[in-house]
Every structure is written in structure tokens, then in C-alpha cells.
């Protein structure tokens, strides 16, 4: 009887330790999967925010004729509203002008206007900030024009 109890105890201990390792393995596997899911969600969320601020920006024909092009643009905040346009300019010719940028809502009504000095040499490229009034909120459906002041 003593041997039966001892063998049962030893078998239960061995079985529990094996199942404990299996449980740990499953927990680790689930944790790994959850971490990957959170990582993909965060990546998707970041992409969603970037797309949300993909506003329509138009350079005037005289600026295009003077060799000014645009690259990636972003919208940021100075005052809790999205009121700063970070415009990336590419200079195909030497350029130096004060430019005016105007923001229009989805209905075409102007809701912001500001100027910035834009200077660059042929072959250069750089970001220039257009800081609008704190009441201007650049939305994803906004339209922005940039022209010579």
C-alpha cells in the first residue's frame, strides 16, 4: 500500500510538472500572439492617422513654372488644433519668395491664411512651416492652396 501511494504521488507530481510546462508554453504562445496583434494594431492605427491628414494641397501655376515642387506634407498642432502645415518643397531652380497658404473647408469656404518665406537653391529640398491662426483646424477634407504673396 505504501508503494502504491508513493508511485501515485510520484506519477501525479510528474504529470503535474509536465502539464505545468505545457500550460506555461501555451501561455507564452498566447502572449506572443497577443503582442504581435497589439503591434499590428498600433501599426495600423499609425497608418490611419497619417491617412487622415492627407489633405489636398495645390501649388499655383506660377510656382510650378518657377521650379517649385512638393513632396510629403504633414499637419501638426501648436495650440491643440491641427493648425500647422509642414510643407516639403523641392527646388528645381533657385527660389526665394514669400508665399501665402490658404485653407478651405469641404464647402470651399476659406478658413485660414498665412505667409512664409520660402528659399532654396536648385537641387535642395526642405520643410517649411505654415502656422495658421489657432482657430484654424486643418481637417482631412480641407483643401490648401499655396501661391506667391
pLDDT tens digit sequence for 100-124: 999 999 999 999 999 999 999 999 9
What fold does the segment set 56-148 form as a domain? Immunoglobulin-like (2.60.40)
pTM listed for this prediction:
0.64
φ/ψ region of 123 (left if φ > 0, alpha if ψ in -120 to 50, else beta) reads left
Share of the chain above pLDDT 90, in %: 50
The chain-wide mean pLDDT, for the chain, equals: 79
pLDDT tens digit sequence for 72-87: 998 987 677 789 999 9
CA 78 – CA 15 distance, rounded (Å) = 62
- C-alpha angle 82-87-88 in degrees, rounded to nearest 5: 145
- C-alpha angle 60-61-62 in degrees, rounded to nearest 5: 95
Element at 124 (helix H, strand E): none
Tell me the β-bridge partners of 76.
Answer: 84
pLDDT tens digit sequence for 18-36: 556 665 676 566 556 555 5
Amino acid at each position: 500500500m505504501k508503494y502504491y501511494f508513493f508511485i501515485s504521488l510520484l506519477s501525479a507530481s510528474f504529470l503535474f510538472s509536465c502539464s505545468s510546462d505545457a500550460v506555461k508554453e501555451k501561455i507564452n504562445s498566447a502572449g506572443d500572439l497577443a503582442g504581435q496583434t497589439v503591434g499590428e494594431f498600433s501599426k495600423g492605427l499609425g497608418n490611419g492617422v497619417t491617412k487622415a491628414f492627407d489633405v489636398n494641397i495645390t501649388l499655383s501655376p506660377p510656382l510650378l513654372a518657377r521650379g517649385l515642387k512638393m513632396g510629403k506634407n504633414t499637419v501638426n498642432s501648436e495650440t491643440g488644433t491641427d493648425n500647422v502645415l509642414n510643407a516639403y518643397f523641392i527646388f528645381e531652380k533657385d527660389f526665394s519668395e514669400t508665399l501665402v497658404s490658404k485653407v478651405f473647408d469641404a464647402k470651399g469656404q476659406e478658413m485660414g491664411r498665412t505667409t512664409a518665406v520660402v528659399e532654396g537653391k536648385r537641387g535642395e529640398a526642405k520643410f517649411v512651416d505654415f502656422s495658421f491662426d489657432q482657430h484654424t483646424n486643418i481637417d482631412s477634407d480641407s483643401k490648401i492652396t499655396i501661391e506667391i504673396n
